[in-house]
A = this chain, B = another copy of it.
């Protein structure tokens, strides 16, 4: 990772974590167990990619001050909610995430289900209190059955299918991952009051890196090891999941990720030099597998 980008992530992760610390219910509030469980997963070493995307989009669209932080935190809560439910025994049944035992392994399944629910509800509470109605709409459509949840369903249903076609695979990737990534960027841009041209550029960028990100993730599941990845590797293969490398092979997957990232970078042309950091970030996404 480029030094400037690394520094940015360090600074913003710290700031987002401070905001999260304040926006999440305190661990001491009753019932203690659910608040512990929520905070456990929220502070389990996430990359804060979605908050950073939101904050960067906010900045390059002319947004000022700390206005985008509550939304950035809400997006990270939504993402974490989806991970907790995704890891459940009835879903992907994963024991580790980011090198730590998954939520249900520590707190039990019931609390894990409720902690996911609570993070989702709490994130909406933040949008209702500090952000605004257009963002409530934007995020709901990215998360619902026409978005992330739809992708998870298709993903589960693809398991064990002998042949996964390209159309299904694209549906899964776009819905499961790309939509929330694009919405994270769009949220920052909307809060900054971006005009239509800027919003369209940001959206195109998100679609490129969002899809590339999922392809890279699938490749890493095959090529990395548990220590580096912090979660079980090979679980996609084990679960007979629809993945890019399964359909196209590793080399073609890498090439496709690279192509998408270049397309994403091109979409930022109208931002000129201000888009430098988002371009770096796009490069970083494919770097992980090249």
> How many residues on chain A are close to B (CB under 8 Å)?
49
A85 an interface residue at 8 Å Cβ cutoff? Answer: yes
Tell me, rounded to whole Å, the shortest Cβ–Cβ distance linking A230 to chain B: 24
Stretch at the interface among A115-123, A198-206, A209-217, A249-257: A115-123
Asked if A109 CB lies within 8 Å of chain B CBs, one says yes
6 A-B pairs within 8 Å (CB atoms) are namely A29-B146, A31-B145, A114-B153, A117-B117, A122-B140, A133-B136
Check if B136 sits within 8 Å of A124, measured CB to CB: yes
Given contacts A34-B149, A85-B114, A121-B143, 10 further A-B pairs with CB under 8 A are A29-B146, A30-B154, A34-B150, A88-B110, A90-B108, A91-B113, A116-B117, A120-B121, A128-B137, A133-B136
The reply on A186 being an interface residue by CB < 8 A is no
Which chain A residues (124-150) contact chain B, with CB distance < 8 Å? 124-125, 127-129, 132-134, 136-137, 140-141, 143-146, 149-150
Pairwise interchain contact A133-B128, C-beta atoms closer than 8 A: yes
A152: chain B residues at CB < 8 Å are 114
Copies of this polypeptide in the complex: 2
Chain B, Cβ-Cβ closest to A25: B145
Q: Say whether A171 faces chain B, with CB atoms less than 8 Å apart.
A: yes
Give complex CA distance A48, B171 in Å: 35
Instruction: Let me know if B125 and A156 touch, CB within 8 A.
Output: no
A260 to chain B, nearest CB (A): 23
The answer to whether B133 and A132 have CB atoms under 8 Å apart is yes
Whole-angstrom distance from the CB of A166 to the nearest CB of chain B?
A: 15
Closest Cβ–Cβ distance, residue A160 to chain B (whole Å): 13
Q: With the chains together, A110 CA to B90 CA distance in Å?
A: 5
Asked if B121 and A149 make an inter-chain contact with CB atoms under 8 angstroms apart, the answer reads: yes
CB contacts (< 8 Å) of A132 on chain B: these are: 133
Cβ of A50 under 8 Å from chain B: no
